[in-house]
Structure 1
Amino acid sequence: MKTERWIQKIMQACLTADTYTFRRRVLAELRNVLDFEVACFTTVDPRTLLSTGAVTDERIEKLHPRLFENEYEGADCNRYSELAHSSVKVAALSVATGGNLAQSVRGREILLPAGLGDELRAALVHQGECWGFLTLYRSAEQARFTQTEIALVSTLVPNFARTLREATTRMEADAAAVNTPEAGIAVISADFTLLSANDAARWWLAVLRRQEDIGQQYLPRPVRAVCSKVRGRSRIQKSSGQAKVCIPISQGGFLSIRASELTSPSTVQYAVVLERARPDEIVPLLAASYNLTSREKQLLGCILSGGSTKEIAAALSISTYTVQDHLKSIFSKTGVGSRRELIRLLITRYSLLDIM
């Protein structure tokens, strides 16, 4: 009964629209029933699994560069990307290593030297889409996570994931978001130090630092995440390409961050572009947030392109009756009653018109 009451209490934290407040409240409540030294609770872009901002501790903040490197540049136990696509969403490092944390590169080279011990990771997946990762760390002196504790966290994962998903649909762009700088360009060093930036980039970085509540000495975690992803690709695949993430901004609207590698014979740097997200970046995220099916996502794209029912049916090789059935489902999920209301919702709430 005590556990049931606690679960009800922690579910109350799911009622807030602010994901940062929600995550802080969850971690505070978790401490009432689980022993852990430090934690990290990050949201992610479900399409790329890159961080869109984290609530964490100073000790983990200092370890983030190594943790990013561990995630993107080699094989190890319980990688976030693997948990997100696995049938097992919650896993302890002690279980994966048979009780010997040093069998894990992360345990041996990052956690143990920092005085940390067991690690519990949870991929927050709802209806096939991952919206965040919760990680709890115990000190080297604390006991390992038990199967009972792992099961407890597993029962909470669906609710946490659904809350993060639904929070995206509640985002609303305001005048400040609409009037933000067009684009920012920053150059980042190989050790993720800001080397140079235009005024727009510095403005965006300040927004992200306030959102994550971190100091000027740190690059925002999403910026580090895209740079780490590019570096990992370069080292493993010998071809870096580009990494990007779309982030809901607390003041309203969405931010796109893209990173590319800059190379010379002697140095490696990263070019980072920060700008208001384009409709083709925002719409897939909103479609996932509203839990649209693959076919419904296709229809949404056709609707925004101005296609009629007959044109949509022809484009997707389905009947007009099937189009109508899909539209009814989309209307139900988004809380509107017509195609006109759907377009109004997307244009007014998320300011798509201003960037189309």
Structure 2
Amino acid sequence: MNSSTHSRIANGRAALLSQSAKATDALSMFAEASSHLRRLLPYDAAVWRVTDPVTGMMTAPIRAENLDEDGCAVYWESELFTENVNLFRDLARSTVPVAGLHESTGDLPARSTLYHSFMKPRGLHDELRAVLRVGGRPQGHISLFRATGRAAFDGDEMKLISSLLAPLAKQLRSFAEPAPQEVTESPHGPGLLLFSAEGQLLSANDDALGYLDSLPDGPAIATAQGLRVPAWVLATAMKARAVAQERDRGQARARVRTRTGHWLVCHASCLRDADGRLGSSAVVLEPAKSSEIVPLIVDAYELTDRETEVTQYIARGLPTGEIAAQLHLSPHTVRDHIKAIFEKVGVSSRGELVGKLFTEYYSPLAEKGMTRFRTG
């Protein structure tokens, strides 16, 4: 790489991070980052996803560029049941969470089932995938694709992507910071959707229909019932089946905000028929309790493990002396932790802290779940 090219890339990277840092929500951040990245590292299609930082599951919002939504189920079926190259779950724990398909297969992409089932039918020849990770937790995924006839992603391009991951992940993490809104009673009980082993929607209760109407727009799967089920909901059902079959591990669980800003949790399990064989997968949508959301909020404020412990004791109403005894610290040290917590969260009292972190619902983000684009 000559000095002119190096300077152009360095300036472009700085501009990408500067503009992305001004974004107020995940979707606009994805748009800014993609617009600048495409000038530095050409690609023909892309998907930018938010993930649940605790479970690593895909959730909303998602930005897809030059891809049809019909391939969502194909992509995740390959990821969960057949693929053995560059799995997101492995990348999330990798020292460098970036990989190219050609680079990983020794320029033999046909070794990948994803290549056969998803990429080749769409005229795509290489994929660069990365995990947006900070503090050891995945905040999002990036998939960049190049069409047949283009050169594969090279080492310098993967290094460029790697240098962007932590700052972009940190920005994504910040979007979980809440602005409290009035707590309201959910009009629905638990929503239940039942999927066949093949991923077809079999049935859904009325509460599930209500929740589906409240979810952010995004890639969706058409069903025989005339419903459009978000791709990430189907992916949660598929994850539960993969775990039951011992093809995958972890939790089939993800948190998402509705269009009105309330948090839902989506979790799934694979049922067994009377003969003991794996049968349908049940997906439940229901309001998320504070205990589901607080880890995301605490992470967004960049509290340390010790500060998180102190915050939990504050929420329980313990005075400084008792917190010190519980943590085997001096009262002075606990007061220092409390001061640091107040500064990070932007509060001035214990009551404000508890109210800001432990409320059930938070104000809506200014985003739709996904926007689909065509680029030149």
Q: How does 1:96-107 map to 2 (within 5 A)?
A: 96-107=104-115
Say whether the 8 Å CA contact 2:174–2:300 is kept in structure 1.
yes
Looking at structure 2, the residues matched to 51 and 279 of structure 1 have their Cα atoms a distance apart, in angstroms, of 21
Q: How has the CA–CA distance of structure 1 residues 330 and 249 changed in structure 2, closer, same or farther, with 3 Å as cutoff?
A: farther
Match of 1:225 among 235, 257, 260: 235
Q: Aligned-pair distance for 1:120? A: 0.5
Mean CA deviation greater in 259-268 or 186-195: 259-268
Residues in 2 aligned to 1:242 and 1:7: alpha-carbon distance in whole angstroms: 35
Partner of 2:31: 24
Counterparts of 1:241-320 in structure 2 under 5 Å?
A: 243-264=252-273, 265=275, 268-320=279-331
The residue correspondences of 1:1-356 to structure 2 (distance < 5 A) are 1-11=7-17, 12-53=19-60, 54-57=62-65, 59=67, 61-73=69-81, 76-169=84-177, 171-172=178-179, 174=181, 179-208=186-215, 210-212=216-218, 214=220, 218-236=228-246, 243-264=252-273, 265=275, 268-347=279-358, 350=361
Q: CA deviation at 1:146?
A: 1.7
**Deviation readout 1:223-245 (Å, 9 max, x if unpaired):** 1222121111111269x996211
String of CA shifts for 1:91-129, please: whole Å, max 9, x gaps: 211111111112233334432344211110111012222
Normalised to the residue count of structure 2, the TM-score between the two structures is 0.83
Taking the aligned partners of 1:23 and 1:273, their CA distance within structure 2 comes to 29
**Are the counterparts in 2 of residues 39 and 135 from structure 1 also a CA contact under 8 Å?**
yes
Please give the alpha-carbon distance, in whole angstroms, between the structure 1 residues aligned to 2:13 and 2:251: 41
8 A Cα contact 2:49 2:59, kept in partner:
yes
Q: Distance in 1 between matches of 2:208 and 2:66?
A: 25
Instruction: Give TM-score scaled by structure 1 length.
Output: 0.87
Report the Cα offset of residue 297 of structure 1: 2.0
C-alpha contact 1:173 1:252 (8 A) present in aligned 2: no
Q: Conserved in 2, the CA contact under 8 Å of 1:253 and 1:351? A: yes
Q: Distance in 1 between matches of 2:12 and 2:303?
A: 32
Cα 1:348/1:108, change in 2 over 3 Å = closer
Query: What is the CA–CA distance in structure 1 between the aligned matches of 2:242 and 2:77, rounded to whole Å?
Result: 7
The alpha-carbon deviation at position 270 of structure 1 amounts to 1.6
Q: SS where residue 71 of structure 1 aligns?
A: helix
Residue identity matched to 1:43: V
CA RMSD of aligned residues (A): 2.8
Question: Could you report, residue by residue, the CA deviation over 1:5-49 in whole angstroms, capped at 9, with x for unpaired residues?
Answer: 433442313322221222233223322332222111111111100
Tell me by how many angstroms 1:269 deviates.
Answer: 1.4
**SS of residue matched to 1:154:** helix
Q: Deviations 1:235-258 (Å, cap 9, x if unpaired)?
A: 1269x9962111234531311011
Secondary structure in 2 matching 1:160? helix
Structure 1 residues 351 and 18, CA gap change in structure 2 (3 angstroms): closer
Asked whether the 8 Å contact 1:93–1:118 carries over to 2, the reply is yes
* Further displaced range: 224-233 or 259-268: 259-268
Task: Give the aligned length.
Answer: 349
Tell me if structure 2 keeps the 8 A contact 1:185–1:201: yes
**Contact 2:289–2:360 (Cα < 8 Å) also in 1:** no
CA contact (8 A) 1:201 1:274 kept: yes
Closer/same/farther in 2, CA of residues 298 and 42 from structure 1, 3 Å limit: same
Identity %: 33
Q: 1:340 to 1:274 in 2, by over 3 A?
A: same
* Offset, 1:177: 6.8
More relative contact order in 1 or in 2 (CA 8 Å, sep 6+)?
2
How far off its partner does 1:213 sit?
5.9
Larger displacement relative to structure 2 (7-16 or 136-145): 7-16
> In structure 2, the residue corresponding to 1:224 is in which secondary structure?
helix
**Kept in 1: contact 2:99–2:158 (CA 8 A):** yes
Residue 373 of structure 2 corresponds to which residue in structure 1? none
Cα–Cα, structure 1 residues 257 and 153, in superposed 2: closer, same or farther, change >3 Å? same
In structure 1, give the amino acid aligned to 2:79. Answer: E
